[in-house]
Structures are given as C-alpha cells and as structure tokens.
Amino acid sequence: MATINFHPANTRGFADHGWLKANHSFSFAGYHDPSRIHFGALRVLNDDIIAGGMGFGKHPHDNMEIITVVLDGALEHKDSMGHTQALYPNEVQVMSAGTGVQHSEYNHSRDQNVNVLQLWIFPDKKNVKPRYGQTVFDPAERVNKLQTLVSPIDKADDGLKIHQDAWIYRTTLKAGQSLEHALHSNRHGVYVFMIDGEATANEQLLGKRDAAGISNTDKLSLLANTDSDILVVEVPMQF
C-alpha cells in the first residue's frame, strides 16, 4: 500500500523579508523541521514571490541540480558560466552546479512581482562540469497529460537534463479529467505539488499549494476536481 505524506500549504515554512516572501516545502534557511528535510533526492522546493527590482545577489552553489520554474512575472539570471538571461512563464531553467558556479537572480521588472518555484535535487554524480539549460514549454502540450520538463541526462526522454534518475512533469488537468503515471522504478517516489486548483493524488485530496510525497507505489493516479495546474517530481527514494 502506498505511503502518503501530506503537506498542507499552510504547514510550509514561511519567511517574510519584505522584498521576498518565501514558502519552503522542506527545511531551508531559518526554517527547520526534522520530518521535512527532503523527499528522496528532492531537497528543496521553494515557492518565492520577489518584489520588483529586488532579488538574490551573487552566491555560490556546488553539487546540486537546480531547477527554476517561473509562474508569473520574469526573473533575470546571471551566472559565472557567462549566461545573462530572463525567464518568463512557461520557461524552465536547469543549472547543474557541479564543481561550483556563482549566480544571481533578480526580478526583471521594477514594479511587478515575480513568482518562482525553485527545486534542488541531489545529483547522482559529484564534481561534474557545471552546465546550463533553458527552454520554453508550450502550455497546450500539457493539457490533460504530463509534459516532461526535466529528465535524466542519460535518457532519451524529453525535457532539460539533470544528473539524477529523476523526472519533473507538469500538467494542466481539466475538471473531471484523470491520468495515470507509471513510475520508472519501484525504488522511486513522486512528490505532487498543486500549483493551483483541486485534485486527488492516489486519493489524497490536494488544494492550491498543498503537496503530497507518495512512495511505496508503482503508479500515480491524478483526478481533477477543478481545473488544476500540477507539478509532479519523480525521484529515487534512496540515492
């Protein structure tokens, strides 16, 4: 029988820095919950709202796969690999930090907020050469089906590539519609994050910004009660 860890939206860690309103699904910065350190290889899922003209100055990362999904507004990225780019809704960015990289992230607008999801996934290889990828994903291609945003670097699957046996999907599931996803391995689990709407994941009811970590199962079943925007992260539970 599947194991389901339900994470209601209002139980996430929260920090209000004025310019930044940050929600943490897992222990991060000043938020620490020993029961929420990570879900398998998924270490971080932050839901950040950054005020106009503000952001994170240059800071380092290493040996982490960092995935950024812009939900609203635009994010300006600059890194030590020479990339200076803005990300908009329906764009996804992947940065394999590897041996080390520095980057900054700022709201591209002076007067509008930007809402960003950032995920960190532990890599399966350390000290790789840092790499960067960014792609626009057509929202029409995820209506009532899973759209692959991220997949392993050694697989021929669609999506941006990371150094881990992990996949990230997004779906816009219309009210009354359902879908099933067969996990790639019985050693994997799925973390389902409701961007918006209301749906059940393996019969666990989820509302806006709720999440559920589901393990000890070979499939994920989603059923939308309302039009729903859902992020699905499949990761190894042991790594």
Cβ atoms of residues 230 and 197 within 8 Å: yes
Q: How confident is the model at residue 221 (pLDDT cuts 50, 70, 90)?
A: very high
pLDDT confidence of residue 83: 86
Does the structural domain 139-236 have CATH classification 3.40.50.11600? no
Q: Could you tell me which of 90, 32, 37, 41 has the C-alpha nearest to residue 65?
A: 41
CATH 2.60.120.10 domain span(s) along the chain: 12-136, 139-236
Residues 156-179 have a mean pLDDT of 98
Q: What is the rounded CA–CA span in Å between residue 91 and residue 2?
A: 32
Give yes or no for residue 178 having a pLDDT over 90. Answer: yes
Q: What is the structure's pLDDT at 79? A: 85
What mean pLDDT do residues 37-43 have?
Answer: 98
Buried b (16+ CB within 10 A) or exposed e, 147-173: bbbbbbbeeeeebbbbbbbbbbbbbbb
- 121-158 tens-digit pLDDT: 999 999 999 999 999 999 999 999 999 999 999 999 99
- Superfamily designation of domain 12-136: Jelly Rolls (2.60.120.10)
Do residues 185 and 236 touch, judged by C-beta distance below 8 A?
A: yes
pLDDT-based confidence at 116, cuts 50/70/90? very high
Checking if the pLDDT of 1 tops 90, the result is: no
Residues of 32-52 as b/e, b for ≥16 C-beta within 10 angstroms? eeeebebbbbbbbbbbbbbbb
